[in-house]
Amino acid sequence: MWTQEEIHEQIQMINGKESPSLVIKNATYLHSVYKEWLTGNIWVHKDRIVYVGKEMPEVIKQTEVIDATGKKIVPGYIEPHVHPFQLYNAQTFAAFAGALGTTTFISDNLPFFIGHDRNTAFSVLDQLKKQPFSFYWWARMDSQTVLKDEKEMFNQQEILPWLLRDDVLMAGELTGWPRLLGGDPNLFAMVQAAKQTGKKVEGHLPGASEKTLARMKLLGVDGDHEAMTIEDVKSRLLHGYAVTLRHSSIRPDLPHLLKEIVANKLDVFDHIMMTTDGSTPLFHQDGVMDKCIQVALDAGVPVIDAYLMASYNVARYYDMTDYHGLIATGRYATLNFLEDVANPVPTDVLSKGVWLKKDGQVQDAFHPIDWSVLSPFAPKFDLYHEDFTFDHAVGIEMVNDVITKPYEITIDTSEEVLSDDHDESFIMLLDRDGKWRLNTLIKGFASHVEGFASSYSNTGDMILIGKDKRAMQQAFEEVKRIGGGMVLIENEAPIVTLPLPIAGGLSNERVEVLIEQETVLKDALKERGYHHTDAVYTFLFLQSTHLPYVRMTPVGIYDVMKNKVLVPITER
């Protein structure tokens, strides 16, 4: 919001008494309401557009004037479904995305909500709010796993302060929707609180039938991003859902869905949004929302629709067109300058009046964030030989990157080292405070990883995997020593290290550097038998109960379909 004094100064520019800070003349820009390219002059003062039209300001003594002849100007791109903790942190990912034209995130709050007290979480959000970038947030209503104290953590009283923030636009994503459908009063109360505070409710409804979609709509769900087929898209639109299509490292559905929408001549692009849905760094080496727009253009989506799906459609759905998605008077001065509409990567990016990219050069525009307010990863315990006891008959077998099913363990788990002749490995989920552990075998992860440890997971607990119990212990000790991260041990020494010093789950490196680190880690795991697509997602979703069939959770090996614990945790 702008103060009365700021608005008075802006009006004085219209009155010819004051000069704006920037004027973009001869602008050809996309008007999101007319859905046409218009020409005119754009006056900007600080972070706000104060006028768009044919006139030039009367006073330009202190004004930077840019001639945009030959360029096309579009609204800054909006990523509506961000998980800003896929090794990168919210600021480094924003800096990377901003240079490519994505200037607004609507982001998951889960790691801030679970791992830190509210005041600490809000202090980070408030720091990010001051950046030359637009950060908005979700308010999670469930943990995406099974926690002992789930209801104490996720309830109306705890979620309401989040919903009352003006930078929180959405409740969800609702991975625990079967509980809502089953009449869970706690979850129902949170959904009602979201509706009463004017927030959208995002579902998580993969494979949902039409009747399930109808039931969830009646319960208050507004949108969903889990369409995997054209029929999924059509059924969601039929029931009045906002539909967000994914193009992610594990669900790259956007290209074929858009091609089928075009082929079926469905005039629905005004009601479609797009997302990269928390993809890992390597997936973003060729873009963020610019990448989605390129996919849309390649699929035959009309040019204007392609750009609006990544800007105005999102702003309209989340009721923030007063600030975003529209190049018009009173909005944030957030603009992307294009050489050619066929290439959505901008030559220049203006975000809230600050140049993130100018004349093709990325600017150093972001302020430092004090991440030290978050609880550091500093385990005050050690692991001992008795912790490496694997005596249960139920193991987990990888179906793909993220889906695991139960299997019967038949090999001798008392051995210190397992053979490389098969793809079964020891696995331990370890409480970050050392209070409990969960030991079993994992089949299909790799054939000859000696020892691996990660402090990166859905709950912030540690994951240890390997053929060699001593190597797994060494990997744990090395992750502990460096203050969080991922470590691969071989021949009693670390051969790959990916540090995550921010709370044990986030890197402080630029995304470009992180892409290189991630590539080295994934290549090393692939060389040792990991044959799935994205190992980072494997570690993140190991505990996630929105996926079948069994998961390793803080209460034990959990059968998702039967809602019961198959193997409990072991207290330490």
Concatenating the DSSP letter of every residue in 168-226 gives EEEEEEETTHHHHHTT-HHHHHHHHHHHHTT-EEEE--TT--HHHHHHHHHTT--EE--
Where on the phi/psi map is residue 18: left (φ > 0), alpha (ψ -120 to 50), or beta? Answer: beta
Cα-based torsion angle of the residue sequence 54, 59, 60, 63 in order, rounded to the nearest 10 degrees: -100
Strand bridging mode 570-571 / 436-443: antiparallel
CA distances to 237, 422, 498 from 447, in Å? 45, 6, 21
Residue-level pLDDT at 115: 82
Cis bond before residue 518 (omega within 30° of 0): no
Q: What is the pLDDT of residues 269-286, one digit of tens each?
A: 999 999 999 999 999 999
Distance between CA atoms of residues 496 and 490, nearest Å: 9
**Which own/partner contact pairs does 402-408 have at CB distance under 8 Å and 24+ positions apart?**
402/250, 402/537, 402/538, 402/541, 402/544, 402/547, 403/547, 403/548, 403/549, 404/442, 404/542, 404/547, 404/549, 404/550, 404/551, 405/548, 405/549, 405/550, 406/549, 406/550, 406/557, 406/559, 406/566, 407/443
Assigned CATH for 76-322:
3.20.20.140
Distance CA 53, CA 74 (A): 15
Distance CA 187, CA 366 (A): 38
CATH 2.30.40.10-classified regions of the chain = 4-70
Distance between CA atoms of residues 327 and 27, nearest Å: 11
pLDDT at 1: 86
Outline which parts of the chain fall under CATH 3.20.20.140. Answer: 76-322
Task: State residue 169's pLDDT score.
Answer: 98
Contact assessment for residue 16 and residue 34, using Cβ atoms and an 8 Å cutoff: no
Q: 286 φ, ψ to 5°?
A: -120, 30
Phi, psi (rounded to 5 degrees) for 382: -120, 165
Domain over 4-70 is classified CATH 3.30.530.20: no
Per-residue CA distances from 466 to 223, 332, 393, 403 (Å): 40, 51, 18, 19
Tens-level pLDDT at each residue, the chain (572 residues): 899 999 999 999 999 999 999 999 999 999 999 999 999 999 999 999 999 999 999 999 899 999 999 999 999 999 999 999 999 999 999 999 999 999 999 999 999 999 899 999 999 999 999 999 999 999 999 999 999 889 999 999 999 999 999 999 999 999 999 999 999 999 999 999 999 999 999 999 999 999 999 999 999 999 999 999 999 999 999 999 999 999 999 999 999 999 999 999 999 999 999 999 999 999 999 999 999 999 999 999 999 999 999 999 999 999 999 999 999 999 999 999 999 999 999 999 999 999 999 999 999 999 999 999 999 999 999 999 999 999 999 999 999 999 999 999 999 999 999 999 999 999 999 999 999 999 999 999 999 999 999 999 999 999 999 999 999 999 999 999 999 999 999 999 999 999 999 999 999 999 999 999 999 999 999 999 999 999 999 999 999 999 999 999 999 999 999 999 999 999 99
